[in-house]
Structure 1
Amino acid sequence: MLKEQIMDTMFKLALIPGISGTKSENFAAVGIHDILKKMAYFLKNPELLKVYPVQDDPLERTVVTAMVKGKKESNKTVIITGHYDVVGIDDFGPLMEIAFDPIKITKRIHELPLDEDATKDLHSGDWIFGRGTADMKFGIALGIEILRYYSERRDFSGNILFIAVPGEESNSEGMLAAVHILERLQNENKLEFKGAFVSECCLPDYVEDDTKKIYLGTCGKIMPLLFFAGKAAHVCDSTSALNPNLLASEVNAMLELNTDFCESSGDIVTAPPTCLKQTDLKEYYSVQTPLYAAAYYNLLTIGRSTSELISLLKDIGVKAFDKINEKCKGFGITYEPRVMTYEELYEEVKRNFTGDFDNHMNDFIDKCTAAGMGLQTTAIHSVKETFNYYSVKEPTIVISFAPPFYPSKSLDKSRANDEFLLHTVQKMLDFAKVNFKVDIAKRNYFMGICDLSYTGNISKADVENCSKNIIGMYKNYTIPFEKLKLLSIPGVVFGGFGKDFHKCSERLNLSYSFEIVPELYKFMIEHLLL
């Protein structure tokens, strides 16, 4: 019965687009709320089903929460959470119209070019295709139906809190808003959070990897933003100029796929950095060489401090100047390697600025936001605006970070609540092996980036370095660090089994996801809420 209910709910939710960064995300929130409000428990207890607006969100997105209380009163609370937004569907090409219909797209997915593994899974009959099936409408459906299951029994002590958030595929606006909601619920109801389950599907580590996994944490993500100030000239006199695109290219050649930035934990190794955008800031054509350029990078972390990362980036910046000086020495030109952090630039400009530079930059960010610029574009232009007031007009590299920032997190047995959740996970693994003949592997980190990052245990040193170098922090982008330190919720990532997230061949395994995972959720919830 539970299997069929989860499947029916997933199909209903998958049909709702909810593309991240668009107003269609609101349709998904409405769909989730409509399912929950029809449950008998919430018809009797409507005050326990709530919709919270994401503050100052231009798309007016919302966070949906629903709490079921056990018959035995207790402050102990288990959280099940996931995101309801999905990525776009352009990669489905001629099948875009049915990309959100798992039944129809599974019947026709063979019309698109599939690799050998996807073709094998299709022919097995044990996989369902379609946008959002694995990432992560199944996880949302699982949370909803687990909540329904316990709302009809209430044979537990404590509370089960379901939270559905938007924006995970963009800047995690939903989960950042949920931090404030969790604090409010905790204070109002004196809740003791025993564990959070992010119901994301596990991922294969390689082609044909069928290992099922539970993740005891999640990797972090930080986006180094490098701003390059060059020296402009007429193109006929280019040897007297320093094209910032050359600076950016030298840095990119050293930073892209650089394994020095990889970290490891057991069998896990983070992916090397890759450039998400590289551009000069020249708006119109002319025969003057560009003056400014910028690039930002995706970088996964699991333990490296922000200060160590800044040191590595500064070293690359100096080496980029060295390479350029080697190239330019034939022209009798050399450049002093000038590499600085945004914090250093900002403080220097602020000291010499006539007036209130903080207000000036706040107004500037407001104008960028009003113009419809995204967080990353605003960050680039904010560094440029700051550099415009810098008295030293020499070629320079400025190191900062663009939003979003995801702290890494993993369970730590030295913390009592973490230890209890670890104990629960181990009991579940033993249960799964005996009762379902499935070996579920433990991994310290989920490498797909997820909202578990915003459930607490933030390093104080990283807070200070990040807050001073993430552009727009506390203005158009805010991480509630202080609240995260107070919440400190132990959590894991555990869901069904999916493949090819963000590809047209995205798919969800049926037998494991619908038959086994719900039973394992029930086992852990009941162990935590004894």
Structure 2
Amino acid sequence: MLNSREELLFLTKQLVEVESIVNTEGEKELAQAIYTLLSSFPYFKENPSYIIKQQTINDEQERYNVIAFVKGTKKPSPKTVLLMGHLDTVGIDDFNHLKNKACNPAELMEALQSEELPPLVASHLQSSQYLFGRGVLDMKSGVASHIHLLNYYSKHPDQLEGNLMVVIECDEEDGSHGILSALKELKKLKEQHQFDYVAAINADFVSPLYQGDENRYIYKGTVGKLLPSFFITGAETHVGSCFEGLDPNFLAAELTRTINYNPELCNEAFGETTVPPVSLKQTDLKPTYTVQTALSAFVYYNFFIHSWSPEDVLDKLKQQAELAFTNALDEYKKRYLQYCQASKQPYQEVVWKPRVMTYEEMQQLLIEEHGDVYVVHMENFKAELKQDLSLDTRMFSAKVVEEAWKWMPDKDPAMILFYSSLYSPRIEVTGKDDKETILIQALDEAIKKVQPSYDYPIRTKNFFPYISDMSFVALSDDEQGIAAVTSNNPGWGVKHFVNYQDIRDINVPVINIGPYGFDAHKQFERLEQTYSFEIVPMITNEVIQGVLRSR
């Protein structure tokens, strides 16, 4: 089994050559290809019910997960280790004129020989140690490693003191419909076979954390990700009388200046610190050109967390928004006064005050003001709005807040804070229970055993720094923290819903042992073959064995 390099290289290329960009037919095609491959294994021919192609639930796309498991016979046990990986990729437009070769590593690498490349990329291309192409790193090589291990144990179940299950999910790169649907199947299998899920191992990519970083990282737990959003209203005016109104874009710009790259909004835990928030969209909501200033603007920010709850984030951002609003009004008054002095016009007192509220607070106000008439109106509005499939969850939420704002009795400028997309929960794996302790010990022992056979340092860290489906197999947030998400998401229950109880029902500690490389989601995506094809399956196997043989 440990002579895995050539097999994994071949299998990775096969997977990459099936273009499986998220939200395209390719996801369905690759799921079928993987299902067909696994079904060809003799073990699954003998046990066809042990492999499942599961269609995602409540999904606007037709796509599938593939779930398969091997029951060990060395010492039959309910203990089950999950191996996780996603089959979808991001798009290929960034490959530009080489787009038609993005999913063919051999042709792409040959074409790159004639390109002007950055020095590091060129050296990797010439080294023969790297494989290039969309999905080689994120994360088809990780899926290949899991399939390799599943295949081995399907031939040697007598070497398993428990069970091994592979969950290959779709839609990781967008809405996580894959893993959220897989939870339903995992719960069903748990009941049917009395499985006890004791550990999960994801195989998403790892990369250097800074220039010159030669460590290969394995992560215990994962960062959480939120998408805090603001609907910002101003006071409309003709541009020729600009100081008779307040441009919401002016407020939005100051808000972004306050939040973007702000170290005060980095979350430190266990000696590790998240990157600060950064804007992912900033726009006004004017549908067409006019000479009036906009009525409203919409902005949202990526926000990573290690230990803060979604409720904590709302509190911190509400404070930042109040500061930004105050600063914007102060600057507005200053510029207005300078203009009045220059134009010799009288200065009129600026009456607007900073006003920031959460969506939940606005809802409570509007329900108290209008009662059932408002509630019924908004339910009907959401139902009709859902028919517009061009709206993603983020813009859907903005439209809902925009409609609700029309019912506000006080239309003075305001910032409404809400969540407009999926919350990927943070996970801490610290040894707080027996399952976590056993997994951490097994990982430490695996690294100690494998490290002498590899030249570069293999290090553990507490939080996987990228978004992944690891977030949906355990939950570190309490009910109050989750309630802050559900009560402040305007699309909740209509455009967007997550059954967090499904996550609590699985609740398995998770680590990430993934392929190593550079430029995931970029044109020069590539993996280093020795670590990815030899060391990753070796460490993963040692952890599987260590967890299952523990008492």
Give the corresponding residue for 1:465. 484
Aligned equivalents of 1:520, 1:317: Cα separation in 2: 46
Question: Does 1:2 pair with 2:4?
Answer: yes
1:43 to 1:263, Cα distance in 2 relative to 1, 3 A? same
Structure 1 segment 6-155 matched on structure 2, within 5 A: 6-71=8-73, 72-155=75-158
Structure 1 segment 116-515 matched on structure 2, within 5 A: 116-155=119-158, 156-265=160-269, 268-329=272-333, 330=337, 331=347, 332-353=349-370, 355=372, 357-372=374-389, 373-436=391-454, 439-460=457-478, 461-515=480-534
Q: What is the aligned residue count? A: 530
What TM-score comes out, normalization by structure 1 length? 0.96
- Residue by residue over 1:227-264, the C-alpha shift from the partner in whole angstroms, topping out at 9 and shown as x without a partner, is 10111122222211111111111101111111111123
Aligned equivalents of 1:434, 1:346: Cα separation in 2: 59
One-letter code aligned to 2:128: G
Q: 254-263 vs 469-478, which deviates more?
A: 469-478
Q: How many Å apart are 1:359 and its aligned residue? A: 4.7
One-letter code aligned to 2:162: G
Q: How many Å apart are 1:498 and its aligned residue? A: 1.6
1:18 to 1:367, Cα distance in 2 relative to 1, 3 A? farther
One-letter code aligned to 2:138: D
Q: Is contact 2:426–2:475 with CA below 8 Å preserved after alignment? A: no
Aligned equivalents of 1:201, 1:411: Cα separation in 2: 19
Q: How many Å apart are 1:474 and its aligned residue? A: 2.6
1:473 to 1:6, Cα distance in 2 relative to 1, 3 A? same
SS at match of 1:370: coil
Q: Is contact 2:218–2:513 with CA below 8 Å preserved after alignment? A: yes
Give the share of equivalent positions with the same residue, in percent.
Answer: 29
Aligned equivalents of 1:387, 1:277: Cα separation in 2: 21
CA RMSD of aligned residues (A): 1.7
Q: How many Å apart are 1:171 and its aligned residue? A: 1.8
Q: How many Å apart are 1:306 and its aligned residue? A: 2.4
1:365 to 1:458, Cα distance in 2 relative to 1, 3 A? farther
Q: How many Å apart are 1:497 and its aligned residue? A: 0.8
Q: Which runs of 5+ in 1 are unaligned?
A: none
One-letter code aligned to 1:314: K
Q: Is contact 2:275–2:304 with CA below 8 Å preserved after alignment? A: yes
1:405 to 1:73, Cα distance in 2 relative to 1, 3 A? same
Q: How many Å apart are 1:112 and its aligned residue? A: 4.2
Aligned equivalents of 1:126, 1:325: Cα separation in 2: 57
- Residue by residue over 1:253-294, the C-alpha shift from the partner in whole angstroms, topping out at 9 and shown as x without a partner, is 111111111123456321111111111111022222111111
SS at match of 2:232: strand
Q: Is contact 1:68–1:151 with CA below 8 Å preserved after alignment? A: yes
Aligned equivalents of 1:492, 1:194: Cα separation in 2: 12
Aligned equivalents of 2:111, 2:139: Cα separation in 1: 21
SS at match of 2:24: coil
Q: Is contact 1:117–1:208 with CA below 8 Å preserved after alignment? A: no
Aligned equivalents of 1:25, 1:357: Cα separation in 2: 41
Q: Is contact 1:176–1:454 with CA below 8 Å preserved after alignment? A: yes
1:110 to 1:298, Cα distance in 2 relative to 1, 3 A? farther
Q: Is contact 1:179–1:480 with CA below 8 Å preserved after alignment? A: no
Aligned equivalents of 2:7, 2:127: Cα separation in 1: 23
One-letter code aligned to 1:349: L
Aligned equivalents of 2:276, 2:178: Cα separation in 1: 27
- Residue by residue over 1:307-347, the C-alpha shift from the partner in whole angstroms, topping out at 9 and shown as x without a partner, is 33222212222222222322333243131111000000112
Q: 261-270 vs 91-100, which deviates more?
A: 261-270
1:362 to 1:164, Cα distance in 2 relative to 1, 3 A? farther
* Structure with larger Rg: 2
Q: How many Å apart are 1:178 and its aligned residue? A: 1.8
Aligned equivalents of 2:373, 2:184: Cα separation in 1: 30
Q: Which runs of 5+ in 2 are unaligned?
A: 338-346
1:165 to 1:363, Cα distance in 2 relative to 1, 3 A? farther
Q: Is contact 1:64–1:164 with CA below 8 Å preserved after alignment? A: yes
